[in-house]
Amino acid sequence: MKVFFLSLLIAVAAYLVAAVGGYFLINKLSSNTHDKSMEATMTAAFVLGPIAAIIAFIAGYFYLRSH
């Protein structure tokens, strides 16, 4: 149970890092001129954050389980 909750904590941290970092990267690199801030917000919150959280949870779970 401890491994699961630590993995969940890692996933939450990864979500935050990916969402915030993704927001700034998309805002800086996107060629969208119409609604760049909305594109950055939605992509960071609903694409980059969840993908990072899932990958971090799986990696953290297997790493913590093996030690």
CA distances from residue 25 to 1, 40, 45 in whole angstroms, order as listed: 36, 8, 13
- Global pTM reads 0.93
What residues make up the domain containing 58?
Answer: 2-66
CA 22 to CA 20: how far, in whole Å? 5
Report how many domains make up the chain.
Answer: 1
CA 66 to CA 39: how far, in whole Å? 39
Residue 41 has pLDDT above 90, yes or no: yes
Residues 6 or more apart whose CB falls under 8 angstroms from that of 53 comprise: 11, 12, 14, 15, 18
Residue 33 confidence (pLDDT): 87
Residue 45 has pLDDT above 90, yes or no: yes
pLDDT band at 67 (very low <50, low <70, confident <90, very high): confident
> What is the mean predicted confidence (pLDDT) over 27-36?
92
Question: In this structure, what token pair is assigned to residue 13?
Answer: 């941290």
Tell me phi and psi for residue 2, to 5 degrees.
Answer: -60, -40
Residue 42 has pLDDT above 90, yes or no: yes
> What is the mean predicted confidence (pLDDT) over 50-60?
98
